[in-house]
Amino acid sequence: MRGLGVAWRHQNPAMSSAPASHAFALAKIQPPRPRTSLVGRPALELALGASLLQRRLTLLLAPAGYGKTSALARQIRWLPPGTALAWVSADEDDQLPRFLACLGRALEPHDLPWRVDPDALATLALGERGLRAVADELINALAGAEAARGLLVLDDVHRIADPQVFELLQWVIERLPARWSVAMASRLEPPLAMGRWRAAGELGEFRQYELRFNQDEVAALLAGAGLPADADVARELLERTDGWAAGLRLNLSARPGGNGARAGVLTQRHLFDYLAAEVLDDMPAELRSFLLCCAVLPELTAARCAHVSGSPHAARLLAEVERRGLFVSVLDADELTLRLHDLFRDFLEDRLQRERADELPTLLRRAAEGEDDLPRAVGYLARAGAWDEAAQAVAGRGAELLAIGGGPSLARMLALFPPAEFERRPELHFLRGLSCFPTFAFDTMLAAMQQAEAGFRAAGREAQAWRARAYACLAMENMAQTEVAARELPKLLALPLDDGTRAIVCFGAAWAAYAQARAADVAPWFAQMLQALERVPEPAVWDACFFHSLWVGMPGMDGLLDRFGERATALFGDTPTQLRAGVLHARVWLAFSAGRLDEAGHWLARADEDCRWLGRPRSVLTENHLAHMLVDAVGGRREAAYAAALECRHDIAEHGSAPNRLTHESEAIFTHSRAAWILQDEATLRELDARLAQVPNPCEWAAADDGHRFSRAFVALVDGRLHDAQALLAPLAIDHEPSCFFPAGQATVLLADVRLRLGALDEAAATLRPWIARAMAGGSVGGALLCGWPVLQRLRDTRWGERLSTDQKAMLGRLAATLAPREDPAVRAARPGGAAARVPQDDDAAVPRGRSEGLAGLSEREREVLARLAAGDSNKLIARGLELSPHTVKRHVANLLGKLGVDTRGQAAARWRQGP
């Protein structure tokens, strides 16, 4: 059950055709609108504009209040027409997953040719090559943009604390396409290696000196405010503020008669506090109270301010704030949205704390209500000491965050709770247990679920306690505690469970049966699971039971797996999800089991597309790696088969927890060994057998012993020790499949071949007859295909006489033709289905990775999307015209780019215009 995807989610946004709801405020990706009252700064604007167009990175670095954001906001208005702009305002909660979500959403209007779902970039970061893989996807998407120029603006970079964000930015900026550039505004120098860019003239730097106002600009500012602007006044103000933009604004906003001499000797921060106090004290009482109440909000809209302040005049007061120019930026949003300057907001919050501290918890609670940005909402509640509400928010939406790769953000929110508050809340322990799944930390998962169960039971919440115990059992099965889990799961079924929990319990019971080599019990448990699922059309519960492709060929399973796939597809559509990937991998093995190798390749290519689109999550990759090892080996693709084996090995060794590695390492090695047998790679077979001999441990599942025996049989066969091979294979050649990938069938056919080679023709035929009878009655032939071409060729060419019937010999001939070398035209035509073997037709017909099938390889839907793309429609217009979600359109674009072997939308459009 390695990599078993059991994470229960209250909601799985990826199950719908729409993208997941974004766990951040949209104001973060809305650039400020420059004020029309801003004075021109021609020298700065000329230099900054040139840098944005000519430098790889432009850095605005200065303390607060130097106009970094205003300079960038003004400059983007003068970018060349057609420039693609993405703006992200950072904040303290921007760990890597949230940063990637913001960046992906900011780039969405530009219809980049993504090959991975942008919502899945955080998941991709958890996988092999991690940040490098994310950087590759970003760079390729940017390179394929149709825009002549592109600019990524990252504001308030000093707020980012996650070093992974900067590691990613280092990779992206280093390999940035020539048409794109990056601008950063920060109070602190970002931790990037910029020396090479600086030496190559690819870094534009605007520090405090370059950003400060000069005397002419101060004079223009005074004139714009209707104040005396002669040289002496401008010089005095410049000397007092040293050209500090915030100080200049405060001086202009202060009421006449303020004590400028006193202000002149204070530090910038003291100057701000002093002058802001004069500004605040000079306000009408209603406006002053409104600003103090709303200071807890990072962005101000009429609705949010009305809710927090309780004022029925929020819209009017907000407009007054903007009219007065009170240290706010106006964001480029559909409704009036203001962002307070950091220093002014700090000042207001300080005043609020000193003057109305008793109101602060209530204001923070109101700020949390209706906040779409979950980390912000929980942060408000934590500041308010509202731990009950904070726990409720995390428990209600934390699983949703996990579903979009927000594990680090969830961990940060859980860390906000004081130990005493955390310990007494079972829902938080439950979430911690769920969050362990992406890293397969089953030991931590078990401890957390056991604590959750105890807490739920103490609170009288029996239904939740049973759900937690079910998950604890699933963790046990990966920690050498399968016997304990196998005893507990039936006890749970005796309780009045809801159907969702019942389905998960039955799923766990099926895996316990598999782990204990009780093959006949797997299908009955799976059938009960499916019955419960069919009464619960909820994505999260179905998604928890996705991992089952390893059971193809086992007694009674194939029909149930077909039924599961049909029901899942009917309920949740054809959008890439963990669940759909599980269905596709099951279809790979169902087709392989029936000897339809081309169809198996089709489904595996479909699964590859989903794995890539989902960001290659570890749970989905487990099945994908195992399938590629064997399917690619049977197809003669040695390099691809071994690449999958290497990735699987690295995943277990580097990313799995110790219990998970000890439980499943032998399974991965044995699958690799079976691929080496098919490819007749003697050296690798010996190496893997030696490794298998070193890994046995008490954590392994029962089937591991058979794998060790099978590996020794492979080595005996390549050594020519046929009697030893016969002794090893005979106990494995049973009449049903006990574990994954048809080992009994493979052992039976290999045993017949060994007896044939030993001259025991009668015994060889007797070994084959019952197996062929089962195969002719609709049983699996997958095991025979895993024996490899030389074995099946030898069995086909043997003169069996009356020992086998004509039909039985014909079956051997068909199996040999299925595996015949592809370069042999004579046998290619004899392959079942002829040269055009059966490939299922559906709306999303796929092709193997790396091949260009041209227009003929596109599905009907993809051709419709491509026709509209070639007509110049954006993704939104295509979605509207074809009644699809934009998310689905992005996926179709990614698929058709791959099938056409092109990188950009323009290249795809040109290919469409060329015709077939």
Q: What is the DSSP string of 618-631?
A: HHHHHHHHHHHHHH
* Residue 810 sits in the same domain as residue 884: no
Summarised one tens digit per residue, pLDDT across range 577-624 is: 788 889 999 999 999 999 999 999 999 998 988 888 877 777 788 889
**What distances in angstroms separate CA 520 from CA 94, 488, 513, 551, 703, one per listed residue?**
50, 20, 8, 11, 14
Look up the pTM and report it: 0.76
- Packing angle, helices 407-415 and 387-403, rounded to 10: 170
Instruction: Please say if the pLDDT value at position 96 is more than 90.
Output: no
Select from 585, 619, 577 the least CA-distant residue to 605. Answer: 585
pLDDT at 798: 95
Q: How many CB atoms lie under 10 A from the CB of residue 791?
A: 25
Looking at per-residue confidence, does 733 or 323 come out higher? 733
CATH of residue 43's domain is 3.40.50.300
* Residue 724 sits in the same domain as residue 711: no
Tell me what percent of the residues of the chain surpass a pLDDT of 70: 88
Number of domains the chain is built from: 6
> Domain for residue 151, yes or no?
yes
Q: Find out whether 427 and 391 touch, Cβ atoms under 8 Å.
A: yes
Summarised one tens digit per residue, pLDDT across range 850-876 is: 445 678 778 888 888 888 888 888 888
Question: Which residues form the domain of 906?
Answer: 855-914
User: Which of 177, 211, 245 is a domain's end point?
Assistant: 211
d(CA 724, CA 726) in angstroms, rounded, equals: 5
Instruction: Please say if the pLDDT value at position 12 is more than 50.
Output: no
Backbone CA torsion sign across 686, 689, 691, 693: negative
> Domain for residue 443, yes or no?
no
Instruction: Please say if the pLDDT value at position 344 is more than 50.
Output: yes
> Domain for residue 438, yes or no?
no
* Residue 334 sits in the same domain as residue 351: yes
d(CA 550, CA 288) in angstroms, rounded, equals: 66
User: Which of 265, 281, 297 is a domain's end point?
Assistant: 281
Locate 384 and state its tokens. 């308010």
pLDDT at 66: 82
d(CA 619, CA 463) in angstroms, rounded, equals: 27
> Domain for residue 195, yes or no?
yes
User: Which of 686, 716, 746 is a domain's end point?
Assistant: 716
pLDDT classification of 267: cutoffs 50, 70, 90 = low
Cβ neighbours of residue 625 closer than 8 Å, sequence gap 6 or more:
644, 645, 647, 648, 651, 668
* Residue 206 sits in the same domain as residue 123: yes
* Residue 66 sits in the same domain as residue 193: yes
pLDDT at 14: 35
Summarised one tens digit per residue, pLDDT across range 418-467 is: 999 999 999 999 999 988 876 677 888 899 999 999 999 999 999 999 99
Parallel, antiparallel or unpaired: strands 180-186 and 328-331: unpaired
Select from 176, 31, 12, 191 the least CA-distant residue to 102. Answer: 31
Distance of CA 900 to the CA centre of its chain: 25
pLDDT at 264: 42
* Residue 143 sits in the same domain as residue 257: no
* Residue 738 sits in the same domain as residue 820: yes
Locate 443 and state its tokens. 């030991």
* Residue 48 sits in the same domain as residue 197: yes
